[in-house]
A = this chain, B = another copy of it.
Amino acid sequence: MNKKEALKIYKDQIKKMQAYYLAMATLGFDRLTIAPKDGSDFRNEMISVLDGEYYQVQTDPKFVEAVLYLAEQDLGKVMNRDVYLAKRSLEDVLKFSKEEMMEFSLEQMKGNDLWYEAKMKDDYSIFKDQLIKLIELSKKKLERRNPKKPSYDIFLDDFEEGMDQKKYDHFFSLIRKELLPLIKKINKKKGYIDDSFLYLYYPADKQALFMKDVMEYLGYSSSWGYLGVTEHPFTNGISRNDVRVTTNYDEHNIASAIFSVIHECGHAFYEHQVDPKYDDLIYIRYMSSGMHESQSRFFENYLARRKSFFKLLYPKLQEYFPENLENVSLDDFIRAINASQSSLIRTEADELTYPIHILIRYELEKDIFNGKADLNNLDKLWDNKYEKYLGIKAEKVFDGILQDIHWSDASFGYFPTYALGSAIGAQLIHQMEKDLNVDELLEKGKFNKITAYLKKNVQHYGALYNFEEIMKLATGEGFDPKYYIDYLKDKYTKLYDIK
């Protein structure tokens, strides 16, 4: 095999894998949005058959040989990285048979479906056994992937290359130490900020109309995007020019959909703004979860919670809901959407308490994968953590252990990237403020200047670099959580007039 032959095999096989990826991503979007439920058993079975087909393409001996050969060559920065990531993925995949992969995929989809049913019926028992099964299966998978490494570290590295428990422990200990005291003080000032008008009745169809304005403001275009509705909001990058988001309308919480749409649009721009020259590759197009979260939370928090962001949008919101907002000034609205109080739902938590939700999940996952958690009592353990850190307890499992979709398809190790992403975002906005007049751009509706900046400094790289390297390129220094801690302490101390 020479370099030219190997590259041809590599590219041909990548093209096939892209086709399967596109099909699976579309099927995934479809099953979570509009697919009729009676078809789900058959659909899930067929999807697992396609997983098997994908496995065969990915593990085709010719392709494996080409990857191993190319990993030893110098192919230039881009191809070196793509091949490196391909090899890393293959090394894991090859430890499993096609049948094992298909079975796992089926169990994930079953988990999804049972979680949804359990959540809708507010009955954890519907999902419990499947969750335990997914944990056990995941443990076995990890054991096989690398018996020497602490299993949870493997997951952490999957979602954020280079991260492990040691690094996250340090990160979360800062959060615990620096933020929990402030949270306690602010919890005592309940009612200091009036945000009651956010929880009046906001009909979903009118909310949907406002979302169009929001997406237009952001420049999220229907020519490459689409907004669907699901129980759990998500972004699905089917291809660079087909990046879909979903939201969920809570008719008694106007902030919920607004910030979830903005959040997902942050993800969407990342997928859309990867360098087009990577279009015929795969691995280099998969960004890490932490970097992804940094972009979504950048939109959601570091931009959209500002007065300047809502200067143009708020009057439109008032027009849709005069009965609720006519007498609420922009300043009052901005204070309300920044109010902080301990609450049960992660996706609706304010910026300050948000990382505590993640801390809780991180500690639970650590215990689960280090064998310290009683799997029969995960719902109780969940509630205990909420009581310990935030002083509150869910009355319904709907608001407790069933609130998030992630565990239902065995996405363990994903949660910590949410907090990491928030911290990355804080460091990025600190840099962006030096380079751009952010408030002026937002006020004037020039959001395209912001997305262009993000494209140039972060997004176009795709997965060419890991997050530490991207941070160095974008800010001139390595990742440092102090920006995040400082930002939150400064913002909330002032907002709540804490001495």
Contact = CB atoms under 8 A, between A and B. Distances in A.
A23 B27 contact: yes
Interface string A275-294: 00001000000000000000
Contacts of A46: 18-19, 22-23, 239
A38 B242 CA distance: 7
Contacts of A38: 223-224, 241-242
Contacts of A43: 22, 238-239, 242
Interface in A48-88: 49-50, 53
Interface residues of A, number: 38
Interface in A10-52: 15-16, 18-20, 22-23, 26-27, 29-30, 34-39, 42-43, 46-47, 49-50
Contacts of A225: 36
25 contacts: A18-B46, A18-B49, A19-B46, A22-B46, A22-B47, A23-B27, A23-B50, A26-B26, A26-B27, A26-B35, A30-B30, A34-B228, A34-B244, A35-B226, A36-B222, A36-B241, A36-B242, A37-B223, A38-B224, A38-B241, A39-B240, A42-B239, A42-B279, A43-B242, A53-B53
Nearest to A21: B46
A293 to B, nearest CB: 23
A19 B44 CA distance: 10
Interface string A223-251: 11110100000000011111110000000
The 6 A-B pairs of least Cβ separation, nearest first, read A39-B242, A19-B49, A38-B241, A39-B241, A19-B46, A23-B23
Contact of A34 (B15, B18, B49, B226): B226
A240 B22 CA distance: 24
Given A46-B18, A46-B19, A239-B43, A30 B26 contact: yes
A53 B19 contact: yes
B36 A226 contact: yes
How many copies of this chain are found per oligomer?
2
Given A26-B30, A222-B36, A224-B39, A19 B50 contact: yes
Contacts of A15: 49
Contacts of A39: 224, 238-242
Nearest to A37: B223
B35 A242 contact: yes
A228 B19 CA distance: 25
A43 B47 CA distance: 19
Contacts of A222: 36
Contacts of A26: 23, 26-27, 30, 35
A26 B223 CA distance: 20
A30 B239 CA distance: 14
Nearest to A38: B241
Contacts of A238: 39, 43
A241 B23 contact: no
Contacts of A42: 22, 239-242, 279
